[in-house]
């Protein structure tokens, strides 16, 4: 009986760790994708501004 409880406890810990890692990865991905979007907007405005200035 004790073994089963230990296994259930370990399973809960593993699930929690996996969920934490997934949310960390997702947050990192979200930040990176936002940075890419800002860079694209900046490049677009920069090039269009440069064309208008000429």
What confidence tens digit (pLDDT) does each residue in 1-54 have? 679 999 999 999 999 988 888 888 888 877 887 787 777 778 888 777 765 554
Residue 29 belongs to what domain range? Answer: 25-54
pLDDT for the residue 36:
79
Does some domain include residue 38? yes
Write down the pLDDT at residue 1: 67
Whether 34 is in a domain gets the answer yes
Residue 1 lies in a domain: no
Whether 36 maps to a domain, the answer reads yes
The verdict on residue 7 lying in a domain is: no
Instruction: Look at residue 5 and tell me if it is in a domain.
Output: no
CA distances from 47 to 34, 38, 43 (A): 20, 14, 6
Question: Do the domain assignments include residue 4?
Answer: no
Instruction: Collapse the DSSP code of 53 into the 3-class scheme (helix H, G, I; strand E, B; otherwise coil) and give the result.
Output: helix
Quickly tell me which residue has 């090039």 as its tokens: 47
Quote the CA–CA distance of 33 and 43 in Å, as a whole number.
15
Query: Domain total for the chain?
Result: 1
């Amino acid at each position: 009986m004790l073994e089963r409880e230990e296994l259930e406890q370990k399973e809960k810990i593993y699930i929690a760790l996996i969920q934490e890692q997934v949310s960390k990865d997702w947050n990192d991905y979200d930040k990176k994708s936002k940075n890419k979007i800002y860079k694209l907007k900046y490049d677009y405005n920069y090039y269009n501004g440069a064309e208008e200035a000429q």
